[in-house]
Amino acid sequence: MFVQPWMLYALPIISLPILIHLINQRRFQNVQWAAMRFLLMANRMSRGYARIRQWLILLARTLAIFGLIIAVSRPLSSGWLSVAGGSKVDTTLILLDRSSSMSEQGPAGGKTKLETGRNQLIQSLNMLKSAHYVLIDSATNEAVELESPDQLNSIPQTSAVGASADVPAMMQTAYDYVNANKPGRTEVWLCSDVRKHDWDADGGRWQVMRDAFLEFQLPIRFHLLAYGNVADENRAIRVTSARRVETTSGVDLLLSLEIEQKTPVAGRVTIPVELELDGGRSTIDVELAGTTAELKDHAIPLNADQVRGWGRVSIPADENLADNSFYFVYDKPVARKTIIVAEDRDGVRPLALAAGISPDPTYACNVEVISADQLVSVEWDKVSLVLWQDQLPEGSELEIVDSYIARGGQVVFFPPLNPNQNSYSGVHWKAWVSLDEETPVGTWIGDQDLLANAQSGASLPVGELRVMRYCELEGEHLSLASLRNGSPLICRALTDRRNVYFCSTTATVGESSLARDGVVLYVMIHRALSNGSKVLGTTRQLIAERQPESEDVVNWRAVSETDSLSTEYDVHPGVYSSEERLFAVNRSLAEDAPVTVGEEQLANLFEGLEFDRVDDVAGNSTSLIQEVWRVFLALMMAALVAEALLCLPRKRQPEADSLSKGWGDSGNVGKQSGSSDSNGQTRRASATREVSA
Amino acid sequence: MALAQSRTRTFIDPQVVARLAAVPLFSRRAMLGNVSGIHTSPHRGASVEFAEYRRYVPGDDLRRLDWRAYGRSDRFYVKEFEADTNLRLCLVLDTSGSMNFGSGPITKLEYARKLIGTLAYIAIQQGDAVGLHCIADKVVRDIPPRRTPSHLRGLFDVLEHTQPTGETELVTTLHELAETIRQRALIVIVSDFFVDPQELKQAFEHMRFRKHDVTAFHLLDQQEIDFKFQRPMRFLDMEGGPSIFAEPNDIIDRYQRAMHGYLDEMKAITLESAVDYQRIQIDQDYEQVLFQFLASRTRGKRT
């Protein structure tokens, strides 16, 4: 990755020393030489080291030029090793996960994952440069053009929210943007904490998305800045229930809450939970043992005339401030009314029985069985659930049901005796199928929706249900329970509010054991009733997410303190009011589950695409991308020094200098003369001795 | 007359010869000449220089009895004197291809011509016989020693026309010369001696065994010592061997180490074999070289 990649075109220059060497080899001179004997000796001796030295010199020179070229190309160092170096980036798409879990701080405290990610993106993108910057944030999921990366720290669309992210949807938005604008080289930078809930890695949308991106002829590269580490000692508080009950002694608010921690605590820890209720504050001590602390129906006395209100519970600050508080609203419970539309009143008796028995004495459950003709006479504003066992609605019936569905009412369709071609939400009944023997339920979804496990974790006895006769379904739907032969038993139509269900058999004896094994039917109906009643009262607990336009979010007013934009109230935790109603907006339950997508699974999501990932931690102030030209300059200098050292002439032997001193000496003549003389003198001396004798 | 003739020779400078003529050429050993000269003979003779006393034996010339010695010791002694004779100077010139090398204005062969020509002239002038042996892979030219001045012309002609060709078979040829040259001669070898010093030592010892007084003029060029070149070179063997391609800067250290080792060995073997060794760089003034050579021998003679 280089700031000035065009300088890399000069890279072939690194072969210059080799070329010069080769040319030099060819540029020899011939010389007549007498002392070949020593030349041969020297040449023989020098073969090994000299050759290595020659190659080392060549290597040093090549490295020096390489270092210089790379240095002037201004290389960038980072974990994003495969970031494009060749062509200039035309558009940079920034996909920012603003979910509640991104508010988690690093081990050293300080900046959150989101803040760190923003800063890293600003630094990196400022260095890389791009013609256009587009932000797609997880809360709005809309593409917003930025003038520069610096805006990431100044615009409100980058602050943390309570809503979960829907990364596949963000990818879809990115795809739509690229598809609509057809930019040049595009870089997609994704900053997320890779929570499983946000990524929906098991969903089918990724395959579609990947194929769509692969079909693009445009060069698109994906980079993931992942903050996958999870604070083990982070605690999250959540209100599971806030009910206003009238007792003989007065009016109480029964508050149930739970505190969760990923790793179990040693022994027992008392956590002071601060309760803010209609402006007043108090503290409740909750004892945490293991990973969960639960407070069940803690009674808080209310004034008798206090019909509805709101409150907030919070725990002391820890790694993630966003999950340390939870808002709730309460109201006088409303009666839960069920309308059963039936063509055969006797056949729906089990349904009426199940819907009419209230699981809680604080509210009543009313059931009214009518025919389709009587729909107009119903007070729809008080209906929580419709159980429809007749031909699917059409005409005026359809309008009434649509209106009811649009305001959040729940409906479960059961098959009529003789289905026609009517359809609802893209689903219609086909023909009845009689089975030779009682067929049990094969699979069902136990983690959510109508057939979810009980609060204790125990699953509903859905597997005990037996079906003898069912009506086939056609159309797009999500199957919540299927028979062993694969036919859907209970399914949900794909609507925005997720409030339209189909049950492919009836509770009539001889068709299924829904009535006989009534637990499943009872739970299913009362869960639908509960969901339906939530939209009827003047208070509602909402999950932070984009609300449908019918909720009229723009007219919400903040009741609790908040610093968010009014257009984003629905994704920011808090209490809001609209006309007579109160809304408590909180993060989803999944945000408290610190489960991340596995590295391999995540890489598979981008299989076939140009993708790389770098893991960062919250609070990291070291830039992801740094200019490292100094390193290459140092390399060049080191190579030059090495080259100079290798080229240094060897230190001359002292004898080399002394050679010339010997020139012209008389050689051995003196010694020989001396010897000769001394012999002569010896001879003379002996003669003299003889004479003397 | 010879000096007049020598004016036409490029390797003889009359002025140099005239200056060097004042210094006689002595041998370090007793020489066997055939006429009287200035060199010591192994035999006793009639010179004025006392040699020794010898007991009288019947038959000795009574005129040579030392009566004073008889008076002092009552014994008969004969007084003997040194005999002076001339010498045979055998000049051995290496004419192999390597002698044609010279990085300066003069080659080793040309330098050798000057040395040999001047030495020959001086020797003839003092009555010594001078011979010339040009050797390469064999004895190329062989002029036996003569002492007549007219002999110089032929010697100079050979010297002038000799060409540096062929390989060096110096050791073999020196062995051959050691046998063919009559005993007790002064042999002056002028060569670059690019042979194995140990083999050369045997040749020198052979000559010493034959009672020759051996002098070796070792001619070297400055570039052969320094080995300084700026670029890769292809070295062509002047004696016809295979050429070698080399980067001089890479091998200069080893070359010089080999050269120094060789020179040290040369000095050692000449010392061991009693050879008068003169290492000469051919950019030196040959007059100075010869003067020092002659003077050193003169000093040896006097002491």
Q: Which residues of A touch B239 (CB under 8 A)?
A: 34, 36
Q: Is the ipTM of this complex over 0.90?
A: no
The answer for B 184-223 residues in CB contact with A (under 8 A) is 192, 194, 215-216, 221
A248 touches chain B (CB under 8 A): no
Lowest mean pLDDT among A378-392, B2-16, B104-118: B2-16
Q: Is the pLDDT of residue B190 over 90?
A: yes
Task: List the single residue in A34, A43, A653 with the smallest CB-CB distance to B246.
Answer: A43
- Asked if pLDDT for residue B243 goes beyond 80, the answer is yes
Give the pLDDT score at A470.
92
Given a contact cutoff of 8 angstroms between Cβ atoms, the answer to whether B61 and B79 are in contact is no
Q: For position B41, what pLDDT does the model report?
A: 65
- Residues of chain B above pLDDT 70, percent: 86
Q: Tens digit of pLDDT for each residue in A320-364? A: 888 899 999 988 877 889 999 998 888 888 889 898 888 887 788
Kindly indicate the confidence band of residue B299, based on its pLDDT and cuts at 50, 70 and 90. Answer: low
* Contact in structure between A600 and A342 (CB atoms under 8 Å): no
Residues of B in contact with A660 (CB under 8 A): 225, 281
* Burial (CB count <10 Å: 0-12, 13-18, 19+), residue B288: exposed
Residue A660 forms contact with B (CB below 8 Å)? yes
Is residue B260 over pLDDT 80? yes
Tell me what pLDDT residue B129 has. Answer: 86
Average pLDDT score over residue span A443-469:
86
Q: What pLDDT does residue A137 have? A: 92
* Contacts (Cβ under 8 Å, ≥6 apart) of A151: A133, A135
Residue from A32, A51, A683, A689 whose CB has the most chain B CBs within 10 Å, to mutate: A32
What are the two backbone dihedrals, phi and then psi, of residue B184, each rounded to the nearest 5 degrees? 60, 65
Size of interface A-B (CB pairs under 8 A): 184
Q: Looking at the complex, report in whole angstroms how far the Cα of residue A57 sits from the nearest Cα belonging to chain B.
A: 12
* Nearest chain B residue to A679, by CA: B29
Per-residue pLDDT at B156 exceeds 60: yes
Q: Looking at residue B43, what is its pLDDT?
A: 60
Average pLDDT of chain A to the nearest whole number: 83
Query: Chain B neighbours among A 13-32 (CB < 8 Å)?
Result: 24-25, 27-32
pLDDT of residue A670: 39
Task: Examine the pLDDT at A83 and tell me if it is beyond 60.
Answer: no
Asked if the model's pLDDT at residue A680 lies above 70, the reply is no
- The whole-number pLDDT of residue A550 equals 67
Min CA distance, B15 vs chain A (Å)? Answer: 21
Highest mean pLDDT among A213-217, A272-276, A303-307: A272-276
Q: Is A557 on the interface with B (CB under 8 A)?
A: no
On whether any CB of chain A is under 8 Å from the CB of B274, the answer is yes
Residues 6+ apart with CB under 8 A from A298: A254, A255, A256, A257, A284
> Residue B286 in contact with residue B118, Cβ under 8 Å?
yes
pLDDT the model gives residue B42: 66
What average pLDDT does range A82-106 have in this prediction? Answer: 79
pLDDT above 70 as % of chain A: 90
Write out pLDDT tens, residues A12-39.
Answer: 888 888 888 888 777 778 888 888 888 8
- Average per-residue pLDDT in chain B? 84
Are B244 and A36 inside 8 Å of each other by CB?
yes
Residues 153-182 of chain B with CB under 8 A from chain A are none
Rounded to an integer, the average pLDDT of A180-200 is: 89
What is the structure's pLDDT at A688?
A: 32
Taking alpha carbons only, the member of A485, A463, A488 closest to residue A477 is A488
Band (pLDDT 50/70/90 cuts) for residue A681 is: very low
Contacts of A665 in chain B (CB under 8 A): 278-279
| Complete DSSP assignment for A99-143 | -GGGGBB-TT-SSBHHHHHHHHHHHHHHHH--SEEEEEETTT--E
Average pLDDT of A410-418? 91
Q: Of A431-440, A654-663, A671-680, B135-144, give the lowest mean pLDDT range.
A: A671-680
Q: Is the pLDDT of residue A665 over 50?
A: no
Residues from chain B that touch A653, judged by Cβ atoms under 8 A, are: 256-257, 260
What is the percentage of chain B residues whose pLDDT exceeds 90?
30
Of B30-44, B51-65, B282-296, highest mean pLDDT: B282-296
- A656 and B279 within 8 Å at the Cβ level: the answer is no
Q: How far is A691 from chain B (nearest CA, A)?
A: 7
Contacts with A, B 87-126, CB within 8 Å:
97-101, 108
Report helix angle A205-215 to A167-181, nearest 10: 20
Q: How many CA atoms does the CB half-sphere of A9 hold within 13 Å?
A: 5
Note which residues in 627-656 of chain A have CB less than 8 A from chain B: 649-650, 653, 655-656
Render the burial of B141-151: b for 16+ CB within 10 Å, e for the rest: bebebbbeeeb
Closest chain A residue to the Cα of B99, Cα to Cα: A34
Greatest mean pLDDT among A657-671, B50-64, B79-93, B214-228 = B214-228
Structure tokens at A277: 């209720």
Q: Is the pLDDT of residue B204 over 90?
A: yes
- Closest residue in A to B249 (Cα) is A649
List of chain B residues whose C-beta atoms are within 8 Å of the C-beta of residue A681: none
What pTM, to 2 d.p., does this model score?
0.55
Helix (H, G, I), strand (E, B) or coil at A322: helix
Chain A: closest CA distance from residue B144 (Å): 26
Lowest mean pLDDT among A256-260, A267-271, A584-588, B85-89: B85-89
**CA–CA separation, B216 vs B251, rounded Å?**
29
Q: Which of B165, B251, B283, B286 to mutate to test the interface with A (most CBs of A within 10 A)?
A: B251
Q: Is-contact B160 B11, C-beta < 8 A? A: yes
CB contact under 8 A, A667 and B278: yes
Q: Taking residues A515-521, what's their average pLDDT?
A: 87
Mean pLDDT of B104-116: 92
Higher pLDDT, A40 or A76: A40
**pLDDT at B297 exceeding the cut of 90:** no
pLDDT for position B66:
87
Contact between A505 and A467 under an 8 Å Cβ cutoff? The reply is yes
